[in-house]
């Protein structure tokens, strides 16, 4: 029998498979089982209209057999089979199903394609040095055998096979220093792989299972017993009706599949039909995985095409701000061998992703409304991610997320939503007040907060680095702007009060100028204020950058040294104001010391460090003596 050559592309793929250094060689089994399952589907559909097929649904099966001595692994199905021509066309060329788009010459890239999607039948050559396919097609009398040892080509010749279907025999490669191919001849390995990749194939995958059993009547003599086992569970949990699934089943599936020891905070099970038809089973974890806030964390959902897993982490299904969601999507609209590049542009997948995003958002909103306690726990774990989401992409998604974020507020010192804040706004209040700091307690003690609270306004306490960035990009919520109480212009004063304050500042102009010069560039101005109640002094920032933002930016790995424009404000009603005015007349030296001390105090209150603590300590001591 003349040897035939593979088509050029196939040859290349074949070569790649044979010499593959790919670590997930095990996926070959998934590929062969999926092909078998497709062939069974085809046969089953045919049987619906073809009376000559006498098989009933329960007769369809995939059989796996291992022969360790011969080093063979066989996968047999009683599906539609392949004729001589089909063997030639299907296995001599790469199926044009788009399984491989050979645009790249890059080996590493090729490998990742294998990893993500598999490349069908040819993957058998990753683990075998020869492959034999015996097949009898439905409606044919003669069976054919296709054999290949790799790139040099293949032969097809008639053979004997009595039943319709396909039997693929892999001769497993010898072990090498790096690869223990013999693993694929172990029944436990095979069972594990079926469970991992093909558990939900709708036909039974059966294997003769070898166990050692005590010989009958004997107490210590064992014998080998072979019995048939079905390796897959066949019905995916998510395909069952919601009412048939218990909470325990949902939860234990989550723990097994997604490696969390805790139960999830929320289970979302949804079946959608329409433009995109899919089932999704999604989980919101209680706690972030240990690497969640690190570079190593990979987001993504498992992707199934009709019960067969085609991708372990499909990142395109989740926006970054919902990257904590775990779970899977199963859709009949997706083809099994779709490449990653194609997947990225797949219209169906985009539709599914948009739906999932909406669904997760709605479920979180429902949790916020109906189960506040759980939501607050959730927000503790993942809130930062949502706030980053508002800020990311120049705020493209800020409006979708604004209703999901919580901030601790001065009102009962509890987390509140922006909507709740707005509902409590006083008549005529057109801004949302906030302040930044390390902790709610510290912010609560800020001098600037006192008067605002006294006036009956609520303040949001921003304690997360990202908070102020998120609010700034949001710019407004329900027509209310945001005001950092440490920045200028709270607009709490009446016209009269404003004028009065202006006059006081004008009167002491030269003293304030001297004080500013004393602080040598640390502040852009020193002035009297009426924003303080009992505290003597505070720092406020002008311009877009607040002191908190300056702190955050300076701590970032490639952060800028952008500086907030800082003004030192002195309480006009505090006795210290009079004292300063006196000193300005009588004791320039002391005025300098007071200025420096007041500035240091203001920095400490803001949670900033003091440049020269020794100098500060000495100055205070001087004044004490």
90 binds ligand ADP (CB under 6 A): yes
Q: Which stretch binds ligand ADP (CB under 6 A): 66-74, 78-86, 489-497, 520-528?
A: 78-86
CB of 550 to ligand ADP, least distance (A): 57
305 binds ligand ADP (CB under 6 A): no
Q: Which stretch binds ligand ADP (CB under 6 A): 89-97, 338-346, 441-449, 609-617?
A: 89-97
95 binds ligand ADP (CB under 6 A): yes
Rounded Cα distance, 262 and 377, in Å: 14
DSSP β-bridge partners for residue 406: 417
35 binds ligand ADP (CB under 6 A): yes
Q: Which stretch binds ligand ADP (CB under 6 A): 33-41, 298-306, 323-331, 347-355?
A: 33-41
User: Strand 459-462 and strand 431-436: pairing?
Assistant: parallel
99 binds ligand ADP (CB under 6 A): yes
Q: Which stretch binds ligand ADP (CB under 6 A): 77-85, 139-147, 399-407, 501-509?
A: 77-85
Q: 188-193 long-range contacts, Cβ below 8 Å, gap at least 24?
A: 190/29, 190/64, 190/66, 190/73, 190/231, 191/229, 191/231, 193/26, 193/29, 193/30
Binding to ligand ADP in span 492-521, by CB under 6 A: none
Match 């210590």 to its residue by tokens: 220
CB of 198 to ligand ADP, least distance (A): 14
Binding to ligand ADP in span 360-419, by CB under 6 A: none
Phi, psi (rounded to 5 degrees) for 290: -60, -30
Among 27, 82, 113, 349, binds ligand ADP (CB under 6 A): 82
Among 17, 36, 526, 583, binds ligand ADP (CB under 6 A): 36
Task: Judge residue 275's burial from the number of C-beta atoms within 10 Å of its C-beta, 0-12 exposed, 13-18 middle, 19 or more buried.
Answer: exposed
Residue pair 159/140 in contact by the 8 Å Cβ criterion: no
Find the residue with minimal CB distance to ligand ADP: 120
List Cβ neighbours of 139 (8 Å cut-off, separation of 6 or more): none
Q: Which stretch binds ligand ADP (CB under 6 A): 9-17, 35-43, 192-200, 384-392?
A: 35-43
CB of 90 to ligand ADP, least distance (A): 3
Rounded Cα distance, 236 and 197, in Å: 12
Among 97, 112, 489, 617, binds ligand ADP (CB under 6 A): 97
Selection from 439, 324, 302 nearest residue 378 by Cα: 324
List Cβ neighbours of 372 (8 Å cut-off, separation of 6 or more): none
132 binds ligand ADP (CB under 6 A): no
Rounded to 5 degrees, what angle do the CA atoms 108, 112, 117 make? 150
Among 61, 120, 145, 364, binds ligand ADP (CB under 6 A): 120
CB of 140 to ligand ADP, least distance (A): 13
CB of 33 to ligand ADP, least distance (A): 9
39 binds ligand ADP (CB under 6 A): yes
In the bound state with ligand ADP, the residue whose beta carbon lies nearer, of 161 and 255, is 161
Phi, psi (rounded to 5 degrees) for 327: 145, -160
DSSP 118: -
In the bound state with ligand ADP, the residue whose beta carbon lies nearer, of 13 and 545, is 13
617 binds ligand ADP (CB under 6 A): no
Selection from 112, 75, 39, 79 nearest residue 190 by Cα: 75
Among 10, 232, 337, 577, binds ligand ADP (CB under 6 A): 337
From residue 300, alpha-carbon distances to 59, 133, 317, 427 in Å are 37, 36, 7, 46
In the bound state with ligand ADP, the residue whose beta carbon lies nearer, of 82 and 276, is 82
In the bound state with ligand ADP, the residue whose beta carbon lies nearer, of 57 and 213, is 57
SS3 string, 299-346, reads CCEEEEECCEEEEEEEHHHCCHHHCCCEEEEEECCCCCCCCHHHHHCC
CB of 308 to ligand ADP, least distance (A): 11
Q: Which stretch binds ligand ADP (CB under 6 A): 95-103, 297-305, 339-347, 411-419?
A: 95-103
Binding mask 155-194 for ligand ADP (x = CB under 6 A): -----------x----------------------------
DSSP β-bridge partners for residue 147: 132, 155
567 binds ligand ADP (CB under 6 A): no
Token pair recorded at residue 191: 């069972």
DSSP per-residue codes, 540-567: EEESS--HHHHHHHHHSTT------EEE
Token pair recorded at residue 71: 């080093």
In the bound state with ligand ADP, the residue whose beta carbon lies nearer, of 35 and 409, is 35
Q: Which stretch binds ligand ADP (CB under 6 A): 30-38, 240-248, 365-373, 594-602?
A: 30-38
Rounded Cα distance, 612 and 438, in Å: 22
Residue numbers of the site for ligand ADP (CB under 6 A)? 31, 35-36, 39, 77, 79-82, 90, 95, 97, 99, 120-121, 166, 337
């Amino acid at each position: 029998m003349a040897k035939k050559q593979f088509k050029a592309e196939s040859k290349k793929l074949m070569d790649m498979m044979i010499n593959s250094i790919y670590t997930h060689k095990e996926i070959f089994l998934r590929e062969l089982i999926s092909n078998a399952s497709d062939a069974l589907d085809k046969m089953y559909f045919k049987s619906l209209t073809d009376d000559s097929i006498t098989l009933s649904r329960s007769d369809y099966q995939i059989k796996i057999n291992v022969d360790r001595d011969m080093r063979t692994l066989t996968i047999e199905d009683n599906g539609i089979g392949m004729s001589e021509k089909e063997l030639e066309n299907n296995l001599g060329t790469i199926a044009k199903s788009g399984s491989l788009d050979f645009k790249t010459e890059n080996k590493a890239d090729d490998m990742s394609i294998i990893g993500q999607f598999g490349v069908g039948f040819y993957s058998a050559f990753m683990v075998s040095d020869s492959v034999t396919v015996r097949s009898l097609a439905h409606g044919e009398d003669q069976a054919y055998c296709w054999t290949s040892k790799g790139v040099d080509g293949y032969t097809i010749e008639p053979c004997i096979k009595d039943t319709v279907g396909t039997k693929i025999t892999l001769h497993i490669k010898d072990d090498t220093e790096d690869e223990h191919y013999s693993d694929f001849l172990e029944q436990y390995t095979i069972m594990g792989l079926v469970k991992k990749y093909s558990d939900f194939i709708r036909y039974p995958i059966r294997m003769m299972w070898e166990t050692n059993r005590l010989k009958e009547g004997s107490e210590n003599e064992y014998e080998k017993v072979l019995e048939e086992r079905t390796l897959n569970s066949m019905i995916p949990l998510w395909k069952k009706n919601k009412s048939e699934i218990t909470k325990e089943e949902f939860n234990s599936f989550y723990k097994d599949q997604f490696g969390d020891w805790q139960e999830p905070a929320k289970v979302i099970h949804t079946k959608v039909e329409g433009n995109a038809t899919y089932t999704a089973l999604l989980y919101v974890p209680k706690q972030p995985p240990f690497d969640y806030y690190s570079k190593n964390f990979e987001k993504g959902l498992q992707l199934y095409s009709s019960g067969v897993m085609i991708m372990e982490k499909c990142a395109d299904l989740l926006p970054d701000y919902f990257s904590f969601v775990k779970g899977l999507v199963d859709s009949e609209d997706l083809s099994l061998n779709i490449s990653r590049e194609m997947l990225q542009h797949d219209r169906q997948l985009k539709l599914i992703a948009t739906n999932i995003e909406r669904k997760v958002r709605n479920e979180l909103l429902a949790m916020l409304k109906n189960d506040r306690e759980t939501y607050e726990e959730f927000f503790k774990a993942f809130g930062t991610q949502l706030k980053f989401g508002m800020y990311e992409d120049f705020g493209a998604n800020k409006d979708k997320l604004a209703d999901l974020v919580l901030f601790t507020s001065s009102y009962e010192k509890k987390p509140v939503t922006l909507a709740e804040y707005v509902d409590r706004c006083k008549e005529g209040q057109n801004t949302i007040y906030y302040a930044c700091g390390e902790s709610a307690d510290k912010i609560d003690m800020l001098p600037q907060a006192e008067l605002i609270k006294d006036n009956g306004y609520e303040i949001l306490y921003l304690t997360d680095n990202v908070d102020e960035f998120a609010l700034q990009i949001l710019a407004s919520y329900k027509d209310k702007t945001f005001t950092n109480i440490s920045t200028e212009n709270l607009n709490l004063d009446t016209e009269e009060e404003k004028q009065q304050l202006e006059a006081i500042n004008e009167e002491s102009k030269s003293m304030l100028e001297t004080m500013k010069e004393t602080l040598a560039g640390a502040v852009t101005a020193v002035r009297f204020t009426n924003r303080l109640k009992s505290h003597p002094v505070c720092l406020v920032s002008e311009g877009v950058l607040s002191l908190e933002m300056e702190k955050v930016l300076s701590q970032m790995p490639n952060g800028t040294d952008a500086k907030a424009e800082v003004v030192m404000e002195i309480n006009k009603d505090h006795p210290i104001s009079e004292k300063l005015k006196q000193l300005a007349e009588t004791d320039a030296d002391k005025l300098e010391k007071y200025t420096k001390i007041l500035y240091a105090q203001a920095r400490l209150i803001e949670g900033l460090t003091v440049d020269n603590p020794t100098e500060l300590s000495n100055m205070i001591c001087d004044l004490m003596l």
